[in-house]
Amino acid sequence: MKTIDLTTSDLRLIEDHDLTEATIASQIKIMTNGIPWIDIQRACTLGDGITQIPDQDIERLIQRYTQAASEGRTMKFVPASGAASRMFKSLVTTYQASQHANQTTIPANETQTLQCLDAMTQFAFCDDLTTALLGQGLHLETLIRHKRYPEILKCLLTSSGLNYAQRPKALIPFHRYQDHARTPLEEQLVEATKYTRTQQSIARIHFTVSPEHQERVSEYVNEVNPRYEDDGTQFDISYSCQKPSTDTIAVTEDNEPFRDNSGSLVLRPAGHGALLENLNDLQGDIVFIKNIDNVVPDRLKNETYRYKKALGGLLVTVQEELFGFLRQLHTGQVEDALLKQMLEWGRHTFAITLPPTIEPGTSRERIEFLQRKFNRPIRVCGMVRNAKEPGGGPFWVQHDDGTHSIQIVELSQIDPGSSDAQRVIETATHFNPVDLVCGLRDYQGKSFDLRQFVDHNAGIMTTKSHEGRTLKALELPGLWNGSMAYWNTIFVEVPAITFNPVKTVLDLLRPEHQ
């Protein structure tokens, strides 16, 4: 492994992040050698990697899930650490350009910004903006009529007003109701009351937040949650931050440690894959994972609840059958007919394939193989029809041992220079809405160590700019990508209405958010 020259200050910084020299050296080695492309064989389609839940089975699965929820087995895990800066990126860029050029209006070619400003009264945060402007002696309607747009953007985005560009996305008002506006955080609370509530009316939800926002988010939740406890629900809300020990070192284009202008090493957050540590620490049982911005108003929620519960019921049903098989495998005595049934069940349920070395093997080899394959965390993932939204999709992937598995793969993990891979992408019918329910305990009721089921070759390298210079950054295997690569997986088609993310402020103008 390449020797790295580290100063005393470097070592102190590494230690402060709970990292080691060996970890840093390993990260540099990965970036030096490059990350192999994912070998996708074909897209997952209905009947070939993706299943449907028959309408006649949905109510039965909902009942199975409702029983598990009443027993206190369920909770939500919501990645909510993102700032709203990306959501308001086009507006921030336009505002900064107007300040640099000392403009009092917005050029006609800034179409996204002008579209947003023209529709300002349609946004749920318009009331807050109006109040903030009034505090400065300004009237929103007057500013819009006279096209004094930079003044509106200043109040909306900067610390002289609402400072939305620096606020957590979780705290941006998304939806307008008769007497109030709700943030996505509040919509997540409402959802939690509908499908994680126990028999004692306790709804458990965990938010991952940025350290700089944790206090603000916690105070906000304490302020608003009484509104959603009117029906007798009590919230059990917890928070965690991405661990510094999951940060990765930045390198130069020559793969040397990148140093900032003060000479310090640059350690960077490593993407949502770092949240596997947070999920692991929860020691949960049945856990729903859903991004903070994938929410809808109350008028559209019932269908999302229906499918959440159905996915949860499918998980519980599959778990029960799987655990029965594992108890039999644990005895080491399984008749050939039953062993054949288990192998077929694993193929049909989890798309498990036998490696060529096992195919003609003995019963003992097959028992050991199934013990390894079955005794893993489970994820049931909703998949929606491909609407060309950004994000990963479900694919059949080939592994070095000759087996195949179904995986959620990001486009950045696929070789853009491979015509075969690009043809596979073109045939994709579904994509991943980050809507999944996970079973995190084994057949003996023990929590899995989720870190044991990661494909460490499934990270992502990106190019960034820091202080005007280019650096290479390493992201850990994504939370629902490489971090869950060796989980038992089920892909289920769900309705498009269950996927309504807000990536840019203009998304809030879609009918689903109005």
Give the CATH fold of the 8-84+170-315+432-513 domain.
Answer: Spore Coat Polysaccharide Biosynthesis Protein SpsA; Chain A (3.90.550)
Q: What are the distances in angstroms from CA 257 to CA 31, 409, 469?
A: 11, 29, 13
| Phi, psi torsion values for 220, nearest 5 degrees | -65, -45
Q: 76 - beta bridge partners?
A: 205, 288
Q: What is the pTM of this model?
A: 0.93
Residue 434 near residue 480, CB atoms below 8 Å: yes
**Every domain of the chain and the residues it spans:** 8-84+170-315+432-513, 89-166
C-alpha Rg value of the chain to the nearest Å? 25
Long-range contacts of 420-425 (CB under 8 A, 24+ apart): 421/37, 421/40, 424/40, 424/41, 424/42, 424/43, 424/395, 425/40, 425/43, 425/393
d(CA 171, CA 179): 18
pLDDT band at 122 (very low <50, low <70, confident <90, very high): very high
d(CA 340, CA 43): 27
pLDDT digits (tens, 9 = 90+) for 293-309: 999 999 999 999 999 99
d(CA 413, CA 432): 15
- The yes-or-no verdict on residue 417 having pLDDT over 70 is yes
pLDDT digits (tens, 9 = 90+) for 202-242: 999 999 999 999 999 999 999 999 999 877 889 999 999 99
- The yes-or-no verdict on residue 153 having pLDDT over 70 is yes
pLDDT digits (tens, 9 = 90+) for 25-78: 999 999 999 999 999 999 999 999 999 999 999 999 999 999 999 999 999 999
